[in-house]
């Protein structure tokens, strides 16, 4: 009996980590999706671009504060914080809520991708600063936010949708740290505006996407507790992230966007072991991230 419980905990831990990795990799697909939206767009402005134009006067009044790139980046850690809070409450013996959370996040990401492709929206709020950053911190902000991310990863803001939906999940699941997650979400809204990553309408639509996704959480009640740990679950947990990485690689090849994660954080001279590792094309002379 104890051996069976240990096997269940091990499989649950492996599956949780696998779902975290898969969700994180899926999130990074935004760049090739944005580039495909640019390539496939039709003539004339999209509906979101027309809405943006109506609010240009308001967006222009928001200052550019490049130091807010630091909290902007921290949103990427929120799924891991949710997982840590889940394990703190339930231990490794229960996984249903974590499954529902990650399935929910993946559905939200796919919905955002569908909107990018359906309504291509180009966003470049600081063209002069993008061409020649005025300070060291501005260079970090420009490299990560404005060059490291496609200009067609725009409306709705995935950062806002991601942060808001995770904060809602913390509260709905009764996890410790819900107030911190809520504070992180509010900081993300501010940093998204102050880094000039998005204009105001994108924040609004990102929050609407999070509300819609949260309202649809009951669709993921199929995420149930497994009766026991099995070798099939263990193998699936190990293989699934590799599948996501392979899909990401092919998607980036299709879109012509080569992700260079070290360069996004300012490490342009860092050379990797291979030019084919997804997200690390930095040893290639032709690698780009803009």
DSSP 90-112: HTTS--HHHHHHHHHHHHHHHHH
- Residue 260 forms beta bridges with which residues? 280
Largest distance between two CA atoms of the chain: 66
Q: Are 198 and 163 in contact (CB under 8 A)?
A: no
pLDDT on residue 267? 55
Q: Which of 211, 209, 248, 213 is nearest to 27 (CA)?
A: 248
At 78 the three-state DSSP class reads: helix
Give pLDDT, residue 127. 83
pLDDT at 94: 80
* Angle value at C-alpha 74, between 68 and 75, nearest 5 degrees: 110
pLDDT for res 221: 65
Q: For residue 284, what pLDDT is reported?
A: 39
Q: Of 94, 83, 86, 89, which Cα lies nearest the Cα of 229?
A: 94
Residue 7 has pLDDT above 50, yes or no: yes
- Residue 281 is classified by DSSP as -
**What tokens appear for 117 in the block?**
């492709």
For the stretch 241-278, what's the b/e string if a residue is b when 16 or more beta carbons lie within 10 angstroms of its beta carbon?
beebbeebbebbeebebbbbbbbbeeeeeeebeeeeeb
The three-state secondary structure class of 288 is coil
| Of residues 256 and 159, more confidently modeled | 159
Interval 253-284: pLDDT, tens: 888 776 666 555 555 555 444 455 555 554 43
What does the pLDDT read at residue 129? 78
User: What is the Cα–Cα distance from 80 to 199, expressed in whole angstroms?
Assistant: 28
Q: What's the predicted TM-score (pTM) here? A: 0.84
CA distance 266 to 151: 19
| Integer Cα distance of 123 and 255 in angstroms | 18
In the predicted model, is pLDDT for residue 288 greater than 50?
no
For residue 115, pLDDT over 90 is answered with: yes
Of 248, 279, 245, nearest in space to 32 by CA: 248
- Residue (of 172, 163, 7, 10) closest to 89 by Cα position: 172
The predicted structure's pLDDT at residue 1: 46
CB 149 within 8 A of CB 116: no
pLDDT of 85-100, one tens digit each?
999 988 877 888 888 8
Q: Confirm if 152 and 34 have CB atoms less than 8 A apart.
A: yes
pLDDT digits (tens, 9 = 90+) for 214-246: 888 777 665 566 655 577 777 888 899 889 888
Q: What is the mean pLDDT of the chain?
A: 82
Q: Is the model's pLDDT at 179 over the cut of 90? A: yes
Domains of the chain, by residue range, sit at 2-241
Q: Judge whether 259 and 252 are in contact, CB under 8 Å.
A: yes
Share of the chain above pLDDT 70, in %: 83
- Give the DSSP per-residue string, 130-186: HHS-SSHHHHHHIIIIIISS-TT--SS-HHHHHHHHHHHHHHHTT-TTHHHHHHHHH
User: Dihedral of CA 163/112/21/74: which sign?
Assistant: negative
Cβ pair 200, 59 in contact under 8 A = yes
């Amino acid at each position: 009996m104890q051996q069976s419980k240990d096997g269940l905990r091990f499989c649950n831990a492996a599956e949780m980590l696998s779902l975290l990795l898969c969700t994180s990799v899926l999130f990074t697909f935004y760049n090739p999706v944005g580039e495909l939206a640019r390539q496939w767009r039709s003539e004339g402005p999209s509906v979101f671009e027309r809405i943006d134009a109506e609010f240009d006067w308001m967006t222009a009044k928001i200052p550019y504060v490049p130091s807010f790139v630091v909290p902007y980046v921290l949103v990427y850690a929120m799924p891991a914080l949710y997982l840590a809070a889940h394990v703190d409450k339930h231990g490794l013996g229960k996984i249903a809520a974590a499954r529902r959370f990650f399935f929910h996040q993946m559905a939200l990401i796919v919905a955002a991708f569908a909107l990018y492709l359906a309504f291509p929206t180009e966003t470049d709020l600081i063209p002069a600063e993008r061409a020649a950053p005025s300070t060291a911190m501005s260079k970090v902000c420009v490299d990560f936010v404005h060059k490291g991310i496609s200009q067609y990863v725009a409306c709705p803001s995935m950062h806002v949708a991601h942060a808001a939906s995770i904060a809602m999940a913390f509260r709905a699941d009764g996890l410790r740290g819900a107030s911190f997650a809520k504070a992180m979400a509010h900081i993300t809204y501010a940093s998204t505006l102050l880094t000039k990553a998005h204009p105001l309408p994108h924040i609004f639509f990102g929050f609407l996407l999070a509300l819609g996704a949260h309202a649809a959480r009951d669709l993921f009640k199929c995420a149930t507790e497994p009766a026991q740990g099995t070798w099939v679950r263990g193998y699936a947990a190990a293989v699934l992230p590799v599948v996501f990485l392979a899909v990401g690689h092919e998607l980036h090849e299709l879109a012509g966007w080569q992700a260079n994660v070290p360069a996004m954080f300012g490490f342009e001279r860092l050379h990797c072991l291979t030019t084919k590792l997804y997200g690390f094309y930095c040893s290639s002379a032709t690698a780009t991230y803009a």
